[in-house]
Chains A and B, each alone.
Chain A
Amino acid sequence: MEGDKMNPNELTTKSTKLTPKTGYTSLLKKIGMVILYLVLIVVALVQLYPLIWLFQLSLKTNQEVFGMSPFALPQDPQWDNYIDAWTTGGINNYFLNSVWYTIVAVILTLILGSFVTFAVTRMEWKLKGFVLALFMAAYMIPLHSTLIPLFNIFNKVNLIDNPLSIIISYTTFNLPITIMILLGFYQSLPREIEEAAVMDGCSVHRIFFQITIPMTAPVLSTTAIINMIYNWNEFVFVNTFISSEKWKTITVGVNNFVGQYLTDWGAIGATLVISILPILLVYLFLSDRIIEGLAAGSVKG
């Protein structure tokens, strides 16, 4: 994809001693560096401040929200906002739903995705190129173009307002990107161990579960986190397929909560913080994995 690279042989004359710097140029350099850092810091503030502000908002009373500057810090942090949101607002139920839908869908996606990637990269069969292309191309199809028929299909099999419709949808729609990320890793993985196992008369299942799956653990964890973020944040499937409060997820629940407690900004802030906290906590510990996964899913496509 990249253009012609210059011939590196022409560059062997690389000198380490550059022209001696005068005081003037080094001062200019320093000013330049300060400007560069300022740019980066301003961008960082723009990215972070709305979230800091949200956290402050979640600890304020209505008097503070509507009577004082929004930049002011909360005077007497209202942790009760969180308790109100969690119990009275019913966020606890939404939260638990999100947790188990996310976990079940991630496990299913990883298993099914690994099966396909293994079959495509390790096994010999005629249609594998075509089947792989089918999975990849599905990534390009806009989800909203499938929504009405999906609703109808789930309706016909009585899965509307049933968590299964959500789990199945999450699993299916995350398969293409999951396979995409797994594929790159499988292709770079040496096959010798698996081939030796075949020679020893191992069954395919044993090779898959006892050799391949453990070897792909690093990429599986990356993929799991990416899937987790997608599922946790998903909105349109739950909003469309689920009508009972008891089955809704945090993302949709938060939206309903805001509709009901329109003027209670503190509690709204608290629900929003609760809804984003799990992902932020995971990010705190696994930021490199997450960044790697987000980048891998996009550019390979």
Chain B
Amino acid sequence: MKNVMSNKTVIALYVLPALFLVLFLIYIPMILTGYYGLMKWDGVGEMKFIGLDNYIKLVQDKLFWESTWHSILLGLFSVLSLIGYLIVSLVLASKIKGANIFRKIYIIPMLLSSVAIAQLWIKIFDPMNGLINSFLTSIGVENVPLWLADPEIALYAIFIPIVWQYAGFYIIIIYAALVNVPEELIEAARIDGANAFQIAYKIKVPLISGVLKVLVILAIVGSLKYFDLIYVMTGGGPGHATEVMASYMYKEAFGKYNFGYGSAIGFGLLVISMVATWTIQKLMKTKEDN
């Protein structure tokens, strides 16, 4: 029986096609990004080796660090908004009739493409005819914000559709974890006289801390990779007010044909994502498990 299930030809046949794709389209390009970063290259012509010039430029590039900061800010906002999602999930999990329907409604925006969401919210944010400003005008606000056109607030404005898009996703995961909290523990606390807030804060939340940690990582690492929504909504503008790492990379390469420098930015994005993931995981481990 062993020899059928350890037939090398079959194993190769089953594993190699997928492995080939993942190696050649994910791993090798990942390494090549770092290598292309050493080149001066317009994307079609010959590459010219220029050593570390692109990387030196990258480290000194104010715009790169600004876009990194924007990505990190979005990550921090996402982590903060987890508190809101947690509260909604706690309400949802407190034996509410119709919880399932609410849950199903909440996740709907998550099913849409970021492009559709971006286009929809461009209209909602429209300073003249958009939903938000029409509402503000109707209740008597005179100086309505310009939202995406105002460099001071554009990044915050962009975060609104991000919350709209992902809220349901986070709520569903937190809700699923809360539903799995053993009923006996809650009942026992209630008998001991704990009120709903104490039960939530002292029993439910600590018990789902594992899931919450995963969500913190997802929120931060996901934010570092934001692209579609921002690229379509503002293209990183006005000026560079909403520029993030991926949009900066994309514009340098496919907009300005600086493929060498674009690759260096892409490699920077890779390194920062990896370091962020690793750091957060480390931080969270030492706190709890050791």
User: Which residues of A are at the interface with B, using a C-beta cutoff of 8 A?
Assistant: 1-3, 5-6, 8, 10-11, 13-15, 18, 32, 36-37, 39-40, 43-44, 46-48, 50-51, 53-54, 57, 65-66, 69-71, 112-113, 115-116, 118-120, 122-125, 131, 134-135, 138, 140-153, 155, 168-169, 171-173, 175-176, 195, 198-199, 202-205, 208, 229, 232-236, 240, 251-252, 254-255, 258, 265, 268-269, 272, 275-276, 279-280, 283, 287, 290-291, 294-295, 298-299, 301
Contact = CB atoms under 8 A, between A and B. Distances in A.
16 contacts: A46-B164, A47-B105, A70-B131, A112-B17, A119-B14, A144-B227, A148-B249, A148-B263, A148-B266, A150-B29, A171-B21, A199-B1, A233-B116, A272-B119, A295-B172, A299-B173
SS of A interface (majority): helix
B63 interface: no
A298 B166 CA distance: 12
How extensive is the interface on chain B, given as a class?
Answer: 35 or more
Interface in B1-28: 1-2, 4-8, 10-11, 13-15, 17-19, 21-28
Contacts of A140: 221, 273-274, 277
Contact of A144 (B11, B44, B250): B250
B194 interface: no
A40 B25 contact: no
A112 B228 contact: no
Interface of B: 1-2, 4-8, 10-11, 13-15, 17-19, 21-30, 32-33, 36, 43-44, 88, 91-92, 94, 96, 102-116, 119-121, 123-124, 128-131, 134-135, 138, 164, 167-169, 172-173, 176, 182, 184-185, 187-188, 190-191, 196, 206-211, 213-214, 218, 221, 224-225, 227-228, 232, 245-246, 249-250, 253-254, 259, 262-263, 266-267, 269-270, 273-274, 277, 288
Nearest to B268: A145
B10 A148 contact: no
A206 to B, nearest CB: 10
B187 A11 contact: yes
Contacts, number: 298
B113 A276 contact: yes
A170 B204 CA distance: 39
B18 A135 contact: yes
A3 B207 contact: yes
A172 B91 CA distance: 39
A291 B172 contact: yes
A283 B108 contact: yes
Contacts of B15: 115-116, 119-120, 131
